[in-house]
Amino acid sequence: MAKDAKRSPFTAELVRRAAIDAFLKFDPRTMIKNPVMFVVEAGTAVVLLLVVWPDLFGPSGATRAYNFAVFAILVLTIWFANFAEAVAEGRGKAQAESLRKTKTETMARLVQKDGSTKMVSSSQLKKGDVVRVEAGETIPADGEIIEGLAAIDESAITGESAPVIKEAGGDFSSVTGGTRVLTDWIVVEVTAGQGESFLDKMIALVEGAKREKSPNEIALTTLLAVLTLIFLIVIVTLVPISRYLGIALDVATLVALLVALIPTTIGALLSAIGIAGLDRVTRFNVLAMSGKAVEASGDIDTIILDKTGTITYGNRMASEFIPAEGVTEAEATRLALLSSLYDETPEGRSIVDLARRKGVSADAPPGAEPIPFTAETRLSGIAFADGQKLVKGAVDAVSRELSAGGAKIPKALIEKTEAIAKAGGTPLVIAELASAGSRAVGVIHLKDVVKAGLKERFAELRAMGIKTIMVTGDNPLTAATIAQEAGVDDFVAEAKPEDKIRIIRAEQAEGRRVAMTGDGTNDAPALAQADVGLAMNSGTMAAKEAANMIDLDNDPTKILSVIAIGKQLLITRGALTTFSVANDIAKYFAILPAMFATAMPELAPLNIMRLTSPTTAVLSAILFNALIIPLLIPIALRGVRYRPMGADRLLRRNLLVYGAGGILAPFVGIKAIDIVLSALGIR
C-alpha cells in the first residue's frame, strides 16, 4: 500500500488513461447516473442534430458554424466532467493493480482429517479448511490462527516492514492471505471463500466498483436534479416570452442557456469529490468499507477512545525519581541509572532515558555484573566487584532483601510508594545491599505515558465541537489523572467491555454521531453500533467484520486523521457547491441582459460586463462553464485545505472565499473570453 498521502494526483499514464475513459463514459447508461450531466448530454445531442439540419425545429437565424461551436463546447464540458471522475477512479485502479500483484496463486499445506497434510492450490481452499504454514511460506488465505505462534511480514498489505507477532487465541489471531510467515509455524482455519478475501475486498473498494453514495451525496444529487428541472421549465417558458418581446431565440442558444444556468460545475465534480475522499482514506492505510463510512466520519460528534494503546502507549515508563530522606535527587537519579544499565526491558530503557534527559550519565564500573530479573526475586540490578549490590524492584521484594541485611524501607518512602500505587502508577524501590549496611535510596515512579501531541489534537477536536470520552478499566483516580493529562472531555473508569456499547447508545440517543476504535472480539458489538467503527488489522476477524473501517497500520489514534479526512470531504463538497451556485448568479448577468437588452432597453444597466453581442455572450458563458471544471479538478481531488474550526467560522470562510470567488471569477473569465472572441471576429 502506498504510504504517501500527499503525492501528486496526476501522472502522465494516469492522465492518458483518464482521457480515454472520459470518452467511454459518454455512454448514456453511465451518464444517467448523474442527472445534471445527463441533461447536458441530451442537450448536446439536440445541438448535434442542428449542426446537421439547422432548420430541424423551424427557420432559425443561427448558422451551422454557431451551432457547431455550441456543440463543441458542450462536448468539452461533458468530457471535462467525465475526466474528473476518471482521474479519481484511475488512482484507485492503479492501487488495485498493485494489490493484484500481491494476490498471487500459492500452494497450501491442507491439513486432512487424519492429521496428515496435502499440498493444494490456494484457489481450491474454502471456508472451514485448515492449513499449516511454516517459516518462509506465504499464508494462502484469510483466516484465524488456531494453533501456534509466528512473526508475520504484513508489508505487502500495510507497507510496514516490521514483523507482527500473531498467535492462537486473544485479539491478535487474524491473518491475511498474501502475507508471509517469517519464523516458527501456525495452523490457520480459513475464514474467507474465493472472491471474499481481504485483498478481494480492497481491490473492489479502491477501484470504486462498490462505492455507494452517501446519504448527503444522494440528497445533494437530488437537489441538483430538482434545480436542473426548474431551470429546464424556466427555459421552456422563456420561448413564448421571447416571442412576445419579438426576440427569436434559436434552439442551440436555449440549450446553451440551460447548460450555463444549471449547476454543471458541482454536477461535474460531485462524483470525483466522493471517490477522492475514499482514496485519501486509503492512502492513509485505512480501508473504508464504503463512501458512507468516510462521510459519516466527517459528521462525528463524539469519539470513544480506549486508554491503553490509544491515549497511552500501554508500556510503563519512568516519569520521576523520588529520593529517600538524606539522599539528593541527583544521587537517586544516578543510582537508578546504574541499576538499569543492564536492564533491556522497556521499563529499564525508560529509566536510563529519563536519567540522561536529567543530565545524569554513568557507566558500569570494571568487574560489574548484571543481576537479571526473575519471577522469584522480582528485582534486577547490578553487582559490583567489591560485593556490593544495587537493585530495584517491587516494594515487597526489595523489603525482603533489606530485611536480610538488617535494614528496612523508611516509613516516609513507603507512604510515597502507596501514593504512586493509588494514582495507578507502579513504584520500584532502589536499594543498596552491602555487608557494611544496606539502605533504600529512593523510588522510581513508572506510569503509562500519554502519547505526545494528543492533547493538542483533542483541543482541535474540541474546537470543532467534537467530544472525546476515554474508557478504561483503571480506578477512578488513575483515570482522572490520565484524562486530565491527555485533555479528554470525559472518562469512564472501571469500565467493562459491555459498557462501551452502553455509552455509544446513550450518546446516539441524544442525537450524536459516535466513532470508536477496537481490536478484540469483545469490541465487535460496540464497533457495529458506532456510526464509525475503526478496527485494527491485527485484531480479530469478528472486530474487522463488525467495523466499517480497518486500519492497516494498527494505530488506534488513526481515527483522528480519519475524522479530519471526513471533515475535509464535507468541506470540499460544500465549498465547490457554494462556488457553483455563485457562478450561476454571475452568469445570469452575463447572458440574460446581453440577450434581451436590444428588445428591453431597461435591462441595459444590468449588462455590466458590456459583452460584445448576444452571440459572444452565450459562447463566452458556456466556454467559461466548461473551462472552470478542469481548473477545479485539483481542488476536488486534493480537497479544500482543512483547518479545525467551528461550523459558524467555517460557513463564513466558505461564503467569503468560495461564494465571493464564485461570483467574481465568471465576471473576469467571461469578459476575457468575450474579448478574445471579438478579436477573432466573432459577432
| Per-residue pLDDT at 358 exceeds 70 | yes
Residues ≥6 apart with Cβ < 8 Å to 307: 448, 470, 471, 472, 474, 479, 482
Quickly tell me which residue has 446516539 as its cell.
508
| Per-residue pLDDT at 330 exceeds 60 | yes
Report how far residue 275's alpha carbon sits from residue 207's, in angstroms, rounded to the nearest whole number: 9
Grade residue 95 by pLDDT with cuts at 50, 70 and 90: low
Q: Which pLDDT does position 413 carry in this prediction? A: 92
pLDDT per residue as tens digits for the range 256-274: 889 988 889 999 998 888 8
pLDDT per residue as tens digits for the range 434-479: 877 889 999 999 887 778 788 888 888 888 788 999 888 777 877 8
- In eight-state DSSP terms, residue 196 is -
Q: Which pLDDT does position 1 carry in this prediction? A: 43
Q: Which pLDDT does position 193 carry in this prediction? A: 76
Q: Which pLDDT does position 10 carry in this prediction? A: 62
Which range has the worst mean pLDDT, 341-345, 498-502, 584-588?
Answer: 584-588
| Per-residue pLDDT at 66 exceeds 70 | yes
User: Rounded to two decimals, what is the model's pTM?
Assistant: 0.70
* Average pLDDT of the residues of the chain: 83
Give yes or no: 306 in active site.
yes
CA torsion 132-543-315-492 (nearest 10°) is -160
Q: Which pLDDT does position 157 carry in this prediction? A: 65
| Per-residue pLDDT at 26 exceeds 90 | yes
pLDDT, mean of residues 196-212:
63
On whether the CB atoms of residues 77 and 626 are closer than 8 A, the answer is yes
| Per-residue pLDDT at 97 exceeds 80 | no
| Per-residue pLDDT at 399 exceeds 80 | yes
Q: Which pLDDT does position 124 carry in this prediction? A: 83
Q: Which of residues 182 and 556 earns the better pLDDT score?
A: 182
Report how far residue 627's alpha carbon sits from residue 645's, in angstroms, rounded to the nearest whole number: 32
Q: Which pLDDT does position 545 carry in this prediction? A: 82
Q: Which of residues 510 and 522 earns the better pLDDT score?
A: 510
Residues ≥6 apart with Cβ < 8 Å to 80: 22, 268, 626, 627, 629, 630, 633
List, in order of start, the domains of the chain with CATH numbers: 2-95+207-281+564-679 (no CATH), 286-312+450-552 (3.40.50.1000), 317-447 (3.40.1110.10)
pLDDT per residue as tens digits for the range 602-643: 666 777 777 778 788 889 889 999 999 999 998 988 888 877
pLDDT, mean of residues 13-24:
87
pLDDT, mean of residues 397-418:
89
Q: Which pLDDT does position 204 carry in this prediction? A: 67
pLDDT, mean of residues 29-41:
91
Residue 387: CB atoms within 10 Å: 10
Residue among 153, 306, 448, 553 flagged as catalytic: 306
Q: Which pLDDT does position 208 carry in this prediction? A: 55
Task: Give the DSSP H or E segment for 147.
Answer: strand 143-153
